[in-house]
Structure 1
Amino acid sequence: MSSTSGVATGEFAQGKPPLNPSGKRASLHDGSGRRAAVLIAPTLILLAIVILYPVVSAVSQSFTKDAGLDPTTGMFVEGGFAGVSNYKLWLLQDCGSGAFSCPPGTLGSQFWTATGVTFLFTVVAVSLETVLGFVFALVMHRNFKGRAILRASVLVPWAIPTAVTAKLWYFIFAYDGIANKVLGTNILWTGEGWPPKAAIIIADTWKTAPFMALLILAGLQVIDGSVYEASKMDGAGAWQRFRYITLPLVRPALIVAVLFRTLDTLRMYDLPKILTNGAGDTSTLSMLVVDQVRTGFNAASALSTLTFLIVFAVAFVFIKFLGANVTEQRAPKTKKAV
């Protein structure tokens, strides 16, 4: 009895399933696997309906022509297989020798302009949010009286709905609003040029910097305080502790926070839509998709597919090359001894 238990325990420690009372190894074919499949099936079916079907449907429709009037003949044309023509409308329509030579007003020009604006918002806003979020997290991580009140107040902007935030900043950036009165300027923040872009970046940073602070604070709280005490005893200064202890240990949480915010900003729609309504070349890819739905649904499907591929490519770069650990870590495989 004891030898059997010892063998089972040893094999279980080696990663092998233990022996059942009949002397056979437990497997997924003894009923447990079927029960697990039955329990997981409703979730998988729901995910397939909510996520998989819309993605497959959008990709399928992107290869179909939009039914409507032919601009050359004036005759009604039924939809049919279009190949990659819908994608060419956005990538190469009237672009001549390249994407950067698209005449203004064409679909190709709108796509590349919206792509550049979307990446501009993403790079600048996420960078500012990361720096401010890190500062907020370091402050909230300290022990002082009223820390709980400070943490709650910092999270208020993030808790406000985006539509309310956009309308709030719309009044702040009005021509006779608070921003111009405080700065002593007469800037048209929702007009042309750089002001509308700056207004969107400021509003987005104000709203989502607390989200970054919350995720970074979670990473700071798992750092053992004894590490800092030991570094102080070794004579490490504040900058050395921050550079060689805080940054390396908080890096996993920081990268995941930046990944989440990057993907969220790439899909930005409601804030620029309400704040500027696309004025001053502030239309993002998501805004362009919604506007295109009103004129051609299948062409909009092609644009949404392109947007999905861009977001997927950015996420792949983060996970593959920048070390964003959002998947389970597995122990490295070891070779069996011969």
Structure 2
Amino acid sequence: MSIALRRGSTGPATARSQQQAEGRMATLLISPTLIVLGLVIVYPVLAAVYSSMFTVPGVDPRTGFVEGGEPFVGLDNFASIFTGAGGRFWNAFWNTSFLTVTSVLLETVIGLAMALIMHQAMRGRAWVRASILVPWAIPTAISALLWRWIFDSEGIANTMLGTKVLWTTEGFQSQAAVIIAEVWKTAPFVGLLVLAGLQIISQEVYEAARVDGAGPVRRFWNITLPLVKPALLVAVLFRLLDALRMFDLPYILIGAGKESVETLSMLAQDEASNVRFGPASAYSVLLFLYVFLIAFTFIKLLGADLLGGRDEPGGKKGGRKSPRRQAGGGRSRQKEATA
């Protein structure tokens, strides 16, 4: 009896020590990653926040010389955004939001269509996939130079339209040029991720839908779109985060200092290039918060769909279903839709 009691008493302690050992091992394994993330993410963000609390050195009225060091102004760089001096910031903010929403929306629709085309069984499918993915492989700077030549006043675009549109000047046409170039380059990325989602859908689901009499449109809305939704949402999230930081394409295609296409990244770069590091850091911090807020909201609202999980009756989020259960669930949903 005493031996059994001693064994029972040492059992939980042994389990706790084993868990602590595993925890220490896990911490040791992920520590290099945490250190790298701290160096490339946490430190630059903190340095930008610190730099945003200083302003450009002024001229000392008593001596006429530039004051040494950057004066500490606290949150004045952020407060100035909400005054008359913040007009340029809000213009860049709305340009960034408009270009992001418009381009991502078009990329989602076109990328989904590309994925459906690449998924079809056809002769030369490998060549079709390779040709569709070529724009994504081209560097952004080269793509911008290519489209700048196309949108020249004597370029291919005006020749085909039979008109003289000044695409690279101020106005809505410059925004349209940036959106067209951005969609052309990044829609294949959305198509590639959606194609990966299409390839894991079981063909048994489509066969059951055909037996039940569902047409192509109904199969798309009730089978393809719901089952490919996790991959599509991941593609949209990646594109949102990338488009909000848009810089090189409008900078090279249209040029700097154009109010129609100036984004937050371009505004921060312009301030930094003019040695106004305090305001530039403030704009960079606000852009970081904007991107973080969009990502957090997107994941918070659609986190289960991003992971491919489903909500269970008890409020618990389950993991991914097995292929057999997934096919059976899709078949039952399809029967309900076609009934």
Distance 1:66 1:328 in 2: 50
2:106–2:183: 8 Å Cα contact kept in structure 1? yes
> Is 1:137–2:115 an aligned residue pair?
yes
The structure-2 alpha-carbon separation of the partners of 1:255 and 1:30, relative to structure 1 and needing over 3 Å to count, comes to closer
Residue 156 (structure 1) aligned to one of 129, 134, 142: 134
Structure 2 residue aligned with 1:292: 271
**Compared with structure 1, are the counterparts of its residues 81 and 328 closer, same or farther at alpha carbon in structure 2 (3 Å cutoff)?**
farther
Structure 1 residues 81, 156: closer, same or farther in 2, change over 3 A? same
Confirm or deny: 8 A CA contact 2:230 2:308 kept in the other structure: no
Listed one character per residue, the Cα deviations across residues 213-260 of structure 1 (whole Å, up to 9, x for unaligned) are: 001111111111100110111111111111111111111111111111
Which residue of 1 is the match for residue 283 of structure 2?
303
Indicate the RMSD between aligned Cα atoms, in angstroms. Answer: 2.6
Cα offset for 1:325?
4.7
Q: Shift in Å at residue 193 of structure 1?
A: 1.3
Amino acid at match of 1:282: V
Alignment of 1:26-37 (within 5 A): 27-28=17-18, 31-37=21-27
What is the total number of aligned residue pairs between the two structures?
A: 302
Aligned to 1:315: 295
Distance 1:324 1:70 in 2: 58
In 1, Cα distance between the equivalents of 2:57 and 2:147?
41
Report whether the alignment pairs 1:84 with 2:63: no
1:117 to 95, 103, 122: 95
Q: 1:244 to 1:46 in 2, by over 3 A?
A: same
Given residue 266 of structure 2, which amino acid in structure 1 is its aligned partner?
Answer: M
Q: Distance in 1 between matches of 2:155 and 2:61?
A: 45
CA distance in 2, matches of 1:168, 1:297: 32
Aligned to 2:53: 63
CA distance in 1, matches of 2:142, 2:234: 27
Decide whether the 8 Å contact of 1:62 with 1:300 is kept in 2. yes
Following the alignment from structure 2 to structure 1, what is the Cα–Cα distance between the partners of residues 101 and 304?
17
**Range moving further from structure 2, 132-141 or 293-302:** 293-302
Q: Could you say which residue in structure 2 is the equivalent of 1:282?
A: 261
SS in 2 for 1:76: coil
Q: Distance in 2 between matches of 1:215 and 1:44?
A: 28
| Other-structure match for 2:323 | none
Q: Structure 1's 56 and 325: CA in aligned 2 closer, same or farther, altered over 3 A?
A: farther
- Give 5+ residue unaligned stretches, structure 2: 1-9, 317-339
Q: CA deviation at 1:209?
A: 0.6
Q: Which amino acid aligns with 2:123?
A: K
Kept in 2, the 8 Å contact 1:268–1:284? The answer is yes
> Could you tell me how far apart the structure 1 residues matched to 2:234 and 2:222 are?
20
Q: Equivalent residue of 2:163, what SS? A: coil
Q: Check the 8 A contact 2:233/2:306 in 1, yes or no.
A: no
Question: How far apart are the structure 2 equivalents of 1:134 and 1:70?
Answer: 61
Farther-moved stretch of structure 1 (207-216 vs 293-302)? 293-302
Match of 1:41 among 25, 31, 34: 31
Deviation at 1:25, TM superposition (A): 2.2
What is the identity, as a one-letter code, of the residue corresponding to 2:74?
G
Alignment of 1:1-338 (within 5 A): 24-25=14-15, 27-28=17-18, 31-69=21-59, 76-77=66-67, 78-89=69-80, 91-94=81-84, 106=85, 108-278=86-256, 279=258, 281-295=260-274, 296-323=276-303, 325-326=305-306
Q: 1:42 deviation in Å?
A: 2.0
Equivalent residue of 1:312, what SS?
helix
Give the TM-score of the pair, scaled to structure 2. Answer: 0.82
Specify whether residues 141 and 66 from structure 1 end up closer, same or farther in structure 2 by C-alpha distance, changes over 3 A only.
same
Q: Which has the higher helix share?
A: 2
Q: Residue 266 and residue 25 in structure 1: after superposition, are their counterparts in 2 closer, same or farther (change >3 A)?
A: same
Query: Greater relative contact order (Cα 8 A, min sep 6): structure 1 or 2?
Result: 2
- Amino acid across the alignment from 1:165: S
Q: Which moved more, 1:41-50 or 1:136-145?
A: 41-50
Which runs of no fewer than 5 residues in structure 1 stay unpaired? Answer: 1-18, 95-105
Measured after TM superposition, the shift of residue 328 of structure 1 is 9.5
Query: How far 1:74 sits from its partner (Å)?
Result: 6.0
Q: Percent identity?
A: 51
- TM-score (normalised: structure 1): 0.82
CA distance in 1, matches of 2:70, 2:304: 43
Q: Give 2:326's aligned residue.
A: none
